[in-house]
Amino acid sequence: MSQTSHLRLLPWSGPEGKPAHLSTDGTETFLCRLADKVEAEQIETATVIRDLAFSMVVDTASLTTGELRWVCRRLIESLTDVLNIAESRGQRIPDYETPEEPGNEPG
């Protein structure tokens, strides 16, 4: 009996910058653990960048246009990583089971 195979969106790009996927049956593998580790690091990095950016853009901060662009680029990169992680994890959540319609119960 074969197990169902799913595609997992990986937290890195494949050739030519295209999304990379792993075909998996849910079994823990080296590549799955590596992807989990990279995702955790990306989330941690996004948290650090958010905290640093917040202190840089308070009302009393006086940043140059170049500094603001730099902050924006880092925030966009981090947001992109976190959205990719959310999409990947969302794809791995099983669908809700459809409840039985009244009157269609086995029996």
Q: What is the pLDDT of residues 53-94, one digit of tens each?
A: 888 878 777 888 998 899 899 999 999 999 999 999 888 887
**Residue 78: predicted pLDDT:** 95
The distance between the two most distant Cα atoms of the chain, rounded to a whole number of Å, is 73
**Residue 7: predicted pLDDT:** 86
Using DSSP's 3-state secondary structure scheme, residue 23 falls into strand
| Residue with the larger pLDDT of the pair 33 and 3 | 33
Is the alpha carbon torsion for 69, 75, 79, 80 positive or negative? Answer: positive
pTM of the complete model? 0.74
Does the structure show a pLDDT above 80 at 5? no
Q: Which of 17, 26, 5 is nearest to 84 (CA)?
A: 17
Average pLDDT, the chain: 85
